[in-house]
Structure 1
């Protein structure tokens, strides 16, 4: 608990014991802590350097604890000051970086990371550095997976970072997959499933992406892409896969279940067909004996369902899904 002010576990235990006793001989303190006297004395000297303990002037070998409210308060104030300075330095460096990167060269937009440990470390960094959202496509053939990856995900989610993840169905066959998915859903992460995803991908805050590189032999490698048109294309790929995927949810017994995505009803399909035939909203409403607002509300609902922003995109999606016939002349 006191590691933030520079104490290790043994030193913290020594200080706590000394506070409880008020003052103690090295021998008595070592016995209480079940530590060798040399280790206890070493810990006491470290506490003395931190201003948390002092040797008694009245009795040789006796140590006295400094009042926690005063001693720890001073250390915490110093720690806050150092953190403030570090934060200012980080802000200045970020400003310098932005100034230099205002017109980034093409070769600065991507970086290649090679080696299993380097790839895993970069993946953890990407998640821990996210502040808003992490989007990921996950295949059933993990290349570099470590416990730190899951730990970084949990830490980011705990900080309030939103997660949207699409997994391919083969992931269910991996060891501990259900346990990990249940934990993710328990953290309110959004997880969906498709039969196959086109590639592994992770995007942090729509500003930094990471994809694997293949064809380099047995050594794992990844491409890190900074904000650019290429990154926007990757984000577009994720959104397209996300729209097609089925949501997962926690079952009553803690298992993972797939949710059926609601599709358009008969009235929705009739509205779509008439709109694609060239009718206006008003004519569609009259033809189907519906209110104009009802037609517009249903069209808006279909656009939200398909994740599109224009009616042209909605028409394309309706054709692709087979919701309407491609030949409307009949």
Structure 2
């Protein structure tokens, strides 16, 4: 009960017993409290440290408990003083943090091209993503091509996403259809949806991007290697164009945990594959664009040719076009 004042349970028990039964020695206290003499002596040492004991005038060489109205009141005042000091330290830290943030922002504003700023390396990108997630007020839109995300990446997103959703930020994420067979991504999608976010998929996606509050966009410096860093863009016309692109893709995408669209003999992924092959892409290039394995592309191609009763890829594309499938 008095731990906040620095008394552990044993010390408090010894103190209460000494108040109720003045004059008891170590052995008597130990017997009454069912404690060892070592525990009683440790309790007495602690009480002495807290100035809750004083020498007895009636019994030379012995001590007695200080009245709680005096002793404990002094401890409360000491705690209040410590609390005030800690509060002052926190306020000083907050002032230092405010000054540091202001200095950082001033340094950023002096960058020769703040409207399009390069972030070199994954650490710089991660720091910027964390800052944007904390600053977001309305929406965060993401396009994540390249197939299934690692469990570590998804777990790293959860805390940022949770705080943003609690502030009322709308979170919408686009993945490729190939993630539908990935357990970690589907688990993340279910969690995000349960928290109020949304996840959809498309067979084919453009470059990776994150769009925050229709004011800031992060896109890779190199579309084929996001580990090199990103470009932080705040040019209104560019951000607006990227948001429009996202919404166009989103409107035709399918909820990850929802049913696939019906009424068409081709899946969205198969339709995209036909278009890629019609553009002359090799199986390897098509697999890379769809974020699936080469084996999957070849299996899908064989299925398409059988469905269309075609002897060649050219004939398959021609028949699919005539039927209005692509």
Compute the TM-score of the two structures, normalised by the length of structure 1.
0.49
Structure (1 or 2) with the greater helix fraction = 2
Compute the TM-score of the two structures, normalised by the length of structure 2.
0.50
Rg larger in structure: 2
